[in-house]
Chain A
Amino acid sequence: MRALLDWLDDRTGIRELLHEALYERIPGHARWRYVWGSTLVFAFTVQLITGVFLWMSYSPSSQTAWESVYYIQNEMWGGWLLRGIHHFMAQAMIVLLALHLLQVVIDGAYRAPREVNFWLGLILMKIVLGLSLTGYLLPWDQKGYWATRVATNLMSLVPFVGTDIQRVVVGGADYGHHTLTRFFALHAGVLPGLLIFFLVLHIAIFRRHGIHAKDPKKGVETTFWPDQVLKDSVACLAVLLVVLFFVVRPALFGAQVGEHPGHLLGAELGAPADPANQYSAARPEWYFLFLFQFLKYFPGDKEIYGALVIPGLLMLGLALMPIVGRWKLGHRFNVLYILMLLLGAGALTGVAWYDDNMARFETNVPVLATDAKRKESQGYLEAVADAEQQTHRALELASAPSGIPPAGAVSLMRRDPMTEGPRLFARYCASCHSHTNPQGVGIKAPESSAPNLYGFASRQWIARVLDPAHVGGPEMFGNTKHKEGDMVTFVRDTLAKEDKAQVAKVVAALSAEAALPEQAAADKRDAAQITEGRELVAKLSCTDCHKYNDEGSLGTAPDLTDYGSEEWLTEFISNPAHERFYGDRNDRMPAFADGDEPTRHTIWAHDLRLLVMWLRGDWYRAEGK
C-alpha cells in the first residue's frame, strides 16, 4: 500500500496536492459562517449525480418528454426519490446562493484582492439561474411549458435582435421538439460545463487568497481539515435533510402512499403540455416570482424596463460593489444595498403570493386588495384547482392498462371525454343549458333557459321529466316554449294520477334505452322491471305522441327508441328539428352538425363525440373507483 502510494506520489505529486487542499490555513479557527461555499459545491455535486442518472431515462421530444418523466416518476425504482432530490436541491441551491452572497457582502469579502472572485461568483449565480430556468421546461408539463413561454417571450424585448434570439433559443417560431433538445443541451451540457469552468476558477482564486477571516484574532488558527471540513459536512447533511424532508413531505403528513409512491412523493408532474389548452395557473418557480410581480408594474411598451433595464441596472450595482466598497461609507452602502435587494425581492414575492391567494381569506388587507383583484385571485385559485384535477386525470389515463400511445399523453387528454367535455359544454351549450348537480356544483348557464343536463337520460333525470312538480320547473321545460306544452300538461294532469310504482318502471325502462355505462349494473339488476316498463310506455299513452319501437309515430315529439344512446344524442344535437326529434316544435336549439358538409357544422365530429360521451358519463375510470 505504502509503496503504491509512493509510486503514485512520485508520478503525480498527490501528497502535496492533498496537503495543500486539506491544510489550508483558517485563521481565527473554523466557523459556521464559512460553510456556504461548501454547501453550494455539495448541492451542485448532487445535481450532477442525480442529473446524469435522470439523463439516462429522459427523452427530450414533445411526444416523449412528459412520458419519460412520468415513467421515471411513477414506474421506475426510486425514480420519485431521484427526481425529488434533483428538483428540491435546485431550489435549495438558490437559497444557498443568496446566503453565500449575503455573507460575502456583509463580511466585505468582495474587497481587494478578491474583486475578480466576486465577479466570478456573480457569473456563477447567473449560470445557476439559467440552469433552473431551462430545467423547469424539461418535464414538458403545463406548468413548465406556460411559464417558460413567458420567460422566452421576454427575450424578444431585447432591442434589435430580440426576436432572433428568441427564435434561436426556442428552435423555431413555435415550441416543439427542438425547444426541448435545445433546452436539454443547455441544461445538461452547456450550462453545467460553464459552471464547472467558472467554479474551478472561483475555487482556485479563493485558494490563492485564502479564506477571508472574519476576526482572525478570535481563536487559534486551524486548518481546513478536519475542523472546517466537519462543520462543512454537517452543513451539507443539514441541506440534504431539508431536501429529503420536502421530497417525502406528503407521507410525513399522513398521506397514504401505497403502491405508487411517485403519485405523491417527490417533484410534482403536472398534466402534459398542451398548447391548445390555456393554462391560467402558470407561474414561474417561487424564486422568480418577484420578477414576475415586478413586471406587473410596467404596462405595455414599458415592459422592457421591468424585464431587462432595471434588473440589469440592479445587477450592475452588485457588480460595482468591490469598487464602491473602497470608500469609507461604501461598505455600509453595499450592505444596505444587498439587504434592500433581498427585502425588495421578498416583498414582491409576498405581494405576488398575496395577489394570487387573497380570495382565500375572509378579510383582506385594504390597500392591496380591491374587488377586481379579489376576482382575479378567485380566477387563479379556480385555475389551480382545475390544473390539479387535470394532473390527477393525466396520471389516471397514463397508468391505464392501455398505456400511453406513441402520439404522447396529450393525445390521451385530448380524446378524454372527462377532460374535454366540460370545456365543450361551456363553449357550445352553456349559453342556455346548465350542468349542475343537485348541490348546484358544475357549469352554470348565465341565464338558464333550457333543461339542466346533469345526469341526462339517467333514471333521476327521466324521473324529473315525469314528475309533475319538476317537469314545468326551471330545471326542465320551465324556461322553454314547452312550458305549457302537451308534455307538461300530460305529466301534470294525467300521469300524476297513475300508480307511482308503474311510473318508476317506465322511468327505468326509458333510462335503460340510453345504456349509460354508469347504470349498467342497475339496468342488469332490474331487467324484469325494465321489461315491464317497456310494456307500460304504450299503456300509459306515451306513444300517443312519441314513437317507441313499433308503437307511435314520428313527427310530434322525440323518438323514445334508444333515447339518450350515443347515436340518438349525436343525431339530436346535430339537428334537434329533425322529425325524429322535435320537428317543427323545436324551441330555440340550433342544429350543430346538420347536413353532409362538415365545414358548415358548428361543432367538429370529434368534439361532438366527446361532448356526447361526457353527457352520458362515458369515460375511462381506473379500477376500484
Chain B
Amino acid sequence: MSDEIPLAPLPDKPATKYSTPQAPETPPRRGFFSGAASIAIGALIGVVPTAAGLATLFDPLRRKGSGAKLLRVASLDTLPTSGEPRAFPILADYVDAWNRLPNQPIGTVYLRRLPGTDKVEAFNATCPHAGCMVSFKPERNQFQCPCHTSAFEADGSRVMPCVSPRDLDGLKCEVRKEEGQPVVYVAFENFYSGMHEKKAKA
C-alpha cells in the first residue's frame, strides 16, 4: 500500500469559546480495587436481565413433542388391493403454544395394503432427507420428493442413487375389527430428517 495519496494537512481548528477538554495524556494511578469492583458489578447487573431472557429463549427445549399416538386413520376397504399406496391426513388435537385445537391435520401418512393380504404398511409422508412431503406417482410406482429428487419404491426403500440418508419412515400400524369392519390404526410420529438413524421428535 505504498501508493496512498498523501492527505493535505488539516488547517488548525479556530479557537472556540468552549474547547473540548482532552483526556489526560497519562492516566492517573489506577485504583485496582475500584476497577475490579466495577467490572464485577457490571457483569452482575448485565447477567440478570440477560439470564431471564435466555431462560425464555430456551424454553422450547424443555417442551415435549406430542410423541406417538395410535390413531384411527381409515377403514381397510378404502385401500386398493393392488398394493398401491394411498395418502391419508392424520387428525389429532394440536397444541400451538397457548392454543389447543381439536382435530387438526397434523401430518400425512401413506397406507399400503400388501397385495393378497389384510396386512397394511404405513409411511410418514415426510421425506427423511430434509422434510419436504413426498407424493406417490402411480405411473412410475414410486414415491417422489419434489425437493432434491429423492425417490422411493412403493415399499419405502430408496431408489439409488438417493440423497435421502434412509428409507421412508415406516410407522407402526395395526388393523382392528370395529363392528365387524377392519379399520387401520397408525401410531403416528415425526422423525428428525437428514440422519441415518430414525430418531423420533419426542
Contact surface of A with B, Cβ cutoff 8 Å: 19-20, 22-25, 42, 46, 49-50, 52-54, 56-57, 67-68, 70-72, 75-79, 81-82, 85, 89, 112-113, 207-210, 222-223, 225-227, 229-230, 232-234, 236-237, 240, 244, 398, 402-406
Contacts and interface: CB of A to CB of B under 8 A. Distances in A.
B50 A230 contact: no
A49 B53 contact: yes
12 contacts: A49-B50, A68-B97, A77-B58, A78-B52, A81-B52, A82-B52, A82-B53, A85-B49, A112-B18, A225-B35, A403-B98, A405-B99
Contacts of A76: 55-56, 59
A404 B97 CA distance: 9
Nearest to B32: A226
Interface in B87-102: 95, 97-101
Contact of B34 (A67, A77, A209, A227): A227
B28 interface: yes
B7 interface: no
A237 B41 contact: yes
A67 B23 contact: no
B44 interface: yes
A113 B18 contact: yes
B34 A230 contact: yes
Contact of B53 (A52, A207, A226, A244): A52
Given A77-B55, A82-B56, A227-B31, A404 B99 contact: yes
B38 interface: yes
Interface string B22-38: 11100110110011011
A23 B23 contact: yes
Nearest to A240: B45
Nearest to A70: B98
State the 5 A-B residue pairs at the shortest beta-carbon distance, nearest first. Answer: A403-B100, A78-B55, A53-B53, A226-B34, A113-B18
Contacts of A42: 45
Nearest to A80: B52
Nearest to B97: A71
Contacts of A232: 38
Nearest to B43: A233
Contacts of A398: 98
Interface of B: 17-18, 20-24, 27-28, 30-31, 34-35, 37-38, 41-42, 44-45, 48-59, 62, 95, 97-101
A232 B28 CA distance: 19
B30 to A, nearest CB: 6
B21 A210 contact: yes
A198 B59 CA distance: 35
Contact of B20 (A89, A209, A240, A405): A209
Contacts of B17: 113
A58 to B, nearest CB: 11
Contacts of A207: 20
A108 to B, nearest CB: 15
Contacts of A68: 97-98
A42 B49 CA distance: 11
A53 B34 contact: no
Nearest to A48: B49
Given A113-B18, A233-B45, A237-B41, A53 B23 contact: no
Nearest to B102: A402
A24 B28 CA distance: 11
B82 to A, nearest CB: 41
Contacts of B34: 226-227, 229-230
Contacts of B100: 402-405
B23 A56 contact: no
A223 B59 CA distance: 44
A89 B52 CA distance: 14
Nearest to B26: A23
A12 to B, nearest CB: 17
A528 B97 CA distance: 48
A576 B95 CA distance: 45
Residue in B30, B52, B57 whose Cβ sees the most chain A Cβ within 10 Å: B52
B92 to A, nearest CB: 14
A589 to B, nearest CB: 40
Contacts of B21: 24-25, 209-210
Contacts of A75: 97-98
Given A56-B57, A82-B49, A229-B34, 13 more contacts: A22-B27, A25-B23, A42-B45, A53-B56, A56-B56, A70-B98, A75-B98, A76-B56, A77-B59, A78-B51, A209-B21, A233-B41, A240-B45
A85 B46 CA distance: 12
B52 A85 contact: yes
Contacts of B20: 207-210
Given A56-B57, A406-B101, A23 B38 contact: no
Contacts of B58: 77
A54 B53 CA distance: 7
Contact of B23 (A24, A50, A82, A405): A24
Contacts of B55: 76-79, 81-82
B87 to A, nearest CB: 26
Residue in A89, A113, A233 whose Cβ sees the most chain B Cβ within 10 Å: A233
B50 to A, nearest CB: 6
Contacts of B62: 77
A406 B99 contact: yes
A53 B98 contact: no
A403 B99 contact: yes
Contact of B38 (A57, A67, A78, A229): A229
A78 B30 contact: no
Nearest to A400: B100
Nearest to A409: B98
Residue in A49, A85, A230, A398 whose Cβ sees the most chain B Cβ within 10 Å: A230
Residue in B27, B35, B48 whose Cβ sees the most chain A Cβ within 10 Å: B48
B43 to A, nearest CB: 10
Contact of B27 (A19, A54, A56, A209): A19
Nearest to B50: A49
A79 B54 CA distance: 10
A50 B38 contact: no
B123 to A, nearest CB: 31
Residue in A42, A229, A398 whose Cβ sees the most chain B Cβ within 10 Å: A229
A225 to B, nearest CB: 7
A312 to B, nearest CB: 31
A466 B51 CA distance: 65
Contacts of A89: 49
B100 to A, nearest CB: 3
Contacts of A52: 53
Contact of B48 (A25, A234, A244): A244
Contact of B56 (A57, A113, A226): A57
A233 B99 contact: no
